[in-house]
Structure 1
């Protein structure tokens, strides 16, 4: 029979003692200059972290669920075809389906034979039809479905430049739904656009908070009890874990002020920002680590991105690879076996705390200056994000940051001219908008365009 280990002979070593030991090993070299680096958010990352630097009580948050959903995305234009692929995906292990559409569709036909008791439905529509939304809610309630309607007029304004119809009508329609269906998950904040336009992590958190607070201010007496927030996850592995954890801390803080439950639902997707058309298989590695960050960061649902989504039309192979990446994380790597798996990591807890604190300061600045919508209308938010994008882009242009296979370790035999089914670059279409929308910006675009020009 094994005995408990007696560690009393091993005294606790303070962080100061560890630092002195490291400085001794540096043999006169400067500790700060050689071992510390500064993130895009202005956080100085140290070579080690210690228990005496993190207070557990500082990081309290509540998770929506201990089980995270594996989500696959389908666009509904042909209901019969969409239903076929949806059911096939569910048979292959998907536990959540995200439905995208540009117009109302036949609900009964699309969801015929759908296992509502097993699979959650997430909606993401580019339109807001009140009558259709009500029909959808009635249908899902009848089926006792788990669903998120995810309506977000402000998100529409941010990403498109215009409201669905106009500010007054959009908010009135939303209020009608909140009042008629207070127990339904109608509100969903789309914070993906901030990240994909170039916002750093502190900005993403602060803007998502300000975005959310616009609704809290407008509908404080009729808000749904559960709000879903969608984030894009980037390649800074530990910082992205900390980002989602920090948002839970911030959400609990804000929700408490309005007398709301301090639990929110987090939906995570890999970013498009660092994806490439050259050496495209590396995209699988990128999305794998990004999905890992999402799950370890306590996301309630993870929706992966096919490795070829930039340049290939939707195809079964790309979807299968993306789905299998999540299945491996869940069923073979056991990422669902532990609740809040990053708990106890001094490094992650430290940057979680710093991100939350910095984001809270920025959030208060936005609110003091009139709130998110006002700052969007005067382009303050857009200008700040553009500056952050340029700052990060400059690091890649100077090769201080690397996109493997694209900005470094390129394969000269890799040709893409004849392999582009979709146009992978920024498209411009001049039109009148109320505000300047946030445009997704990929880091590799200029490099890829230059390489393609030499191929032609």
Structure 2
């Protein structure tokens, strides 16, 4: 026992950074230490180790949660008293179906009612629709999150008319019913209503809510249009904050004060796959926003940011979609560690179609497991004090502030969008992402790596959003209602007039028609919304269409040289390489002579062949196979697996080899080239 007690009192000496570095350099076996450094899409250099010295100059490290500038959280107790809201977005095909789904999900752990009107699945046109949607749902028990798009006037008016009809006090409603016209402009490229008119509505709605719905925020600032365009973390933050400042100035010009508008803004950020970067993003967002509001003269309370997070649509895949569960789990974990106030976890089939009961349950339960079983809410600011996360937080905040200032110098976010600055910045990073995916430097499991061609696809019923839009645009307008609305709007009484007319059965379309002005609205180049997996998904779809049309996938044939250990590594690499594009790979047994290889290749009747083996085995057999095969059929294409020395490659090419496929090859471009040569229609 005395020996054990003595052991407990002993401690290992703390190694210095130099001692650690010396050991690392030994393990690198001559490679430079800088080999361990990496650079992110934000152009931030990531070191292999962080120490106390990295955070010594960071003031916010010594701050407590709940105190300015709120890096460690806006509440002293974190999630302990009030956890984040489980805010799953819900869509349906009709108001009654939506009502049933919401009731079902609220009973099973959802804590906030979340709607994105453009993805709702049906048009909300009248008070009757609102009544059908919220029938039997106690709005005083659950907060709302309504993303109304470019303008929220019509939905808010219909909801207010419903509340009056049901004699439900306005001040019992809490949450967010918000508009984001600049976000809609960036996403779509144009608006149906001039920005000045939308800012008039924003200011009026904000004033009205302060007096009547004190628990409701009225402005949303979304980072998703930039994230889903391929933007990096710094860009998403900077463009979001530039948008928020645009709204602040517009409302200040219309008579509001900073302490009235800043607390009404609710941010929404996408959470991508870089775990620590996303944690740092949310923490940096609190710091930057605090500084911005402080610069406008806002109080400490007004400097607190409200943040919704949603796991990334950008990172999700159509093929092997169950891997999306893992992606969403990691992203949700980052969002909660980062301190989001509410969270939507993407259903694993989000990229395929509308979620069903199973995919909704898995997404919702991901949050509940983090809360109830992983006990994330029991620790205040879990990332606080981490040398790496604290350093990364400061770096992200600094770079986001610099880019934000650049946009301000250009005249603000709208001017920057009009000039194409924002689009160019996003496209630059998007191209980097695309190239890394195409070269498989960025791995997407189940898509450009480990594709499973035998997997049965997840089937979804077709949605009728187009029909909904046609029905919405073709519904008859009551011109008298439109005229009365226009008269009220002309007197700068937007929300009051809209509610008054909604009570008298005016529709959402009539309210929106009355808002439109003769003057042209601003238009910009839209930021294309896409997903990282799309390039390879398009190849897979083209291959499947070819299979359906011709009875076989586009096919490559392997000529494996020697014994299994000699060719297996490269044969496996080539198989995964081409299966990423949905192509079939036909493998041969180990071949030891050029004559045998050529004979089997001719009998296979293929068009594209790849020789797989070791560099040593290639020396004599590759030139012999190339010469004989090209003599037998000059139209076939012959490639060699693996990068060779320049002189070796030159000799192989002279013998008839068409190219080399290796880890540095552009997988996407190679497959596209092969498919075109095989006559595959890539536009199907």
Alignment partner, residue 235 of structure 1: 273
| Partner of residue 85, structure 2 | 69
* Cα gap change, 1:109 to 1:414, in 2 (>3 Å): closer
2:46 counterpart residue number? 45
The corresponding residue for 1:403 is 444
Aligned to 1:357, which of 375, 398, 402? 398
Deviation at 1:162, TM superposition (A): 1.9
Deviations 1:78-110 (A, max 9, x none): 332221111110000101121233544433442
CA displacement at 1:272 relative to structure 2? 1.6
Indicate if the aligned counterparts of 2:221 and 2:265 stay in contact, CA closer than 8 A: yes
Q: Check 1:301–1:170 CA distance in 2 against 1; reply closer, same or farther (3 A cut).
A: same
CA contact (8 A) 1:76 1:105 kept: no
TM-score (norm 2): 0.61
| Match of residue 286 from structure 2 | 248
CA deviation vs aligned residue, 1:200-252 (integer Å, no higher than 9, x gap): 11111111111111112222325152421101111111111111111111111
Equivalent-residue separation in structure 2 for 1:143 and 1:89 (angstroms): 25
On the 8 A contact 2:244/2:265 being kept in 1, the answer is no
1:279-290 correspondence to structure 2 within 5 Å = 279-290=320-331
Q: How does 1:220-369 map to 2 (within 5 A)?
A: 220=252, 221=257, 222-260=260-298, 261-369=302-410
Alpha-carbon separation, structure 2, partners of 1:129 and 1:342:
36
Structure 1 match to 2:55: 54
Q: Secondary structure at the match of 1:440?
A: coil
The aligned counterpart of 2:203 is 175
Report the 3-state secondary structure (helix = DSSP H, G, I; strand = E; otherwise coil) of the residue aligned with 1:121.
Answer: strand
Pick one of 175, 182, 186 that aligns with 2:218: 186
Cα distance, 1:20 vs. partner? 4.2
The alpha-carbon deviation at position 444 of structure 1 amounts to 1.5
Q: Which ranges in structure 1 are unaligned for 5 or more consecutive residues?
A: 424-431
Residue in 1 that maps onto 2:172: 144
1:148-190 C-alpha deviation (Å, 9 max, x unpaired): 1121111121112223511121011111112222344111101
Compare relative contact order (CA 8 Å, sep 6+) and give the higher one, 1 or 2: 1
Find out whether 1:93 has 2:109 as its counterpart.
yes
The reply to whether residue 209 of structure 1 matches residue 241 of structure 2 is: yes
- SS of aligned partner of 1:41: coil
Q: Which has the higher helix share?
A: 2
Return 179-188 or 39-48, whichever deviates more.
Answer: 179-188
- Post-superposition, which runs of at least 4 consecutive aligned residues in structure 1 deviate over 6 A? 5-11
**Within 5 A, what are the aligned runs for 1:23-42?**
23-33=25-35, 35-42=36-43
1-structure distance, mates of 2:395, 2:262: 30
Distance in 1 separating the partners of 2:38 and 2:344: 31
TM-fit CA distance, 1:336: 1.4
Q: 1:293 Cα shift? A: 0.8
Q: Contact between 1:187 and 1:224, CA under 8 Å: does it hold in 2?
A: no
Q: 2:231 aligns with which of 199, 206, 216?
A: 199
Secondary structure of the corresponding residue to residue 240 of structure 2: helix
Q: Does 2:259 align with 1:219?
A: no
**Which deviates the most, 50-59 or 93-102?**
50-59
- In structure 1, how many angstroms separate the alpha carbons of the residues matched to 2:287 and 2:9? 34
Larger Rg computed on CA atoms: 2
Aligned equivalents of 1:262, 1:13: Cα separation in 2: 42
- Given the superposition, is the C-alpha separation of residues 7 and 232 from structure 1 closer, same or farther in structure 2, using an over 3 Å criterion? farther
Deviations 1:290-346 (A, max 9, x none): 111111111111101111122233311111111111111111111111121111211
- C-alpha distance in 2, partners of 1:7/1:296? 34
Change (3 A) 1:266 1:29: same
Q: Secondary structure at the match of 2:43?
A: coil
Superposed CA RMSD in Å reads: 2.6
**SS of 1:268's equivalent?**
strand
Look up the match of 1:124: 147
The SS at the match of 2:529 is coil
Match of 1:441 in 2: 530
Please list every run of 5 or more consecutive structure 2 residues that lacks an aligned counterpart in the other structure: 64-68, 118-122, 464-520, 546-684
How many residue pairs get aligned? The number is 443
For residue 378 of structure 1, the aligned residue among 414, 419, 422 is 419
- Displacement of 1:44 in angstroms is 1.3
Q: Distance in 2 between matches of 1:446 and 1:421?
A: 24
Match of 2:565 in 1: none
Distance 1:254 1:24 in 2: 47
Cα distance change of structure 1 residues 259 and 114 upon mapping to structure 2, 3 Å threshold: farther
- Which deviations, in whole Å up to 9, do the C-alpha atoms of 1:6-29 show, x marking residues without a partner? 989767655455434433554543
Question: CA–CA distance in 1 between the matches of 2:282 and 2:169?
Answer: 30
